[in-house]
Amino acid sequence: MPTIPISVNFHIWKPCNDRCRFCFATFEDVRGYLSPDDAVQILCLLRQAGCKKVNFAGGEPTLYPHLGRVLREARCLGFVTSIITNGARLLQILETHAADLDWVGLSVDSAREDVQRALGRGRGDHVQRAITLFDKTHALGLRAKLNTVVTALNWQEDMSGFVRRVRPDRWKVFQVLPIEGQNDGRAEPLLITTEQFRAFVERHEVLRAEGLAPVTEDNNAMRDSYVMIDPWGRFFGNATGRYVYSDPILTVGVETALAQVGWNPEKFIERGGFYDWSPQGMQPPVRLRRRSSVQRR
């Protein structure tokens, strides 16, 4: 059982070029963003705390002007590095910083362009662009992840053909999650029942024999099981159905800030958060150490 934040989702950039109706990371209540120096300092503190993997998310992380530098610093610190993206500027990142990445995650919620567009992702070319980017990711020898949010518009869909075409190393399938203050007022028509979510999952069990079956997370699994950092450098938690934010990590340190929002490591394990995420395989967890806090400059 990990006693430290082994894996962290760092939502490093608030803006996004898409307008996904279900998005639970709009950060409309967050003002400002981190300088690259502060972002790197947070990475240093996370690494000192024993964190092994960092997944850069958003908003859209490839729009962050300093993502290349932050990826390079994360690699130098010894992190397993990952990004989850809609692909906006992914080609540019891959051209310059492929050596600083272990995983590339692409968000594709349907194999149908009309459904993607209705969800607010892309302008009718998202699926084909994702295929091109998956091909590029594989060609570079990087591990690929597919993220799919199941909603009222796609729960009856069979994505097996698309999944076989892009062949991700890991396919994450999420039940659309309502978060007060993030997607309320937009997501309600997209919400589905647990039974509808299970129907989507069961439809794709045929892929298990090919090593492509989805890793699934319903609403319960998604709550309180992630260690997440917002664009302002604070931990945030979703256990209450609304985001709760810590003090800035650079002000109070990793241990104090994480304690302010909480995190359930048992749920982290249950949802499959601890897996072989690097080409070399996993290293054993390290013990939690006491750390001195660092003041924000």
User: Could you tell me if 9 and 275 are in contact, meaning their C-beta atoms sit under 8 angstroms apart?
Assistant: no
List 20, 44, 51, 76, catalytic entry:
20
Distance between CA atoms of 100 and 217, rounded to whole angstroms? 28
For CA atoms 165, 170, 173, 179, the dihedral sign is negative
The active-site residue, picked from 23, 44, 51, 76, is 23
Strands 228-229 and 234-237 turn out to be antiparallel
Torsions phi, psi for 203 (to 5 deg): -60, -25
Crossing angle, helix 36-48 and helix 254-261, to 10 degrees? 90
Nearest to 201 by CA among 175, 179, 180: 175
Cα Dmax for the chain: 53
Q: State the catalytic residue, choosing from 16, 44, 51, 76.
A: 16
d(CA 28, CA 182): 7
Catalytic residue status for 16? yes
Establish whether 20 is a catalytic residue. Answer: yes
Contact assessment for residue 143 and residue 279, using Cβ atoms and an 8 Å cutoff:
yes
The answer for 28, left when phi > 0, alpha when psi is -120 to 50, beta otherwise, is: alpha
> Computed from CA positions of residues 60, 65, 68, 74, in that sequence, does the dihedral angle turn out positive or negative?
negative
Peptide bond preceding 59 in cis form (omega within 30 of 0):
yes
51 is catalytic: no
Query: Shortest CA distance to 193 belongs to which of 211, 171, 178, 172?
Result: 178
Question: Active-site residue numbers?
Answer: 16, 20, 23
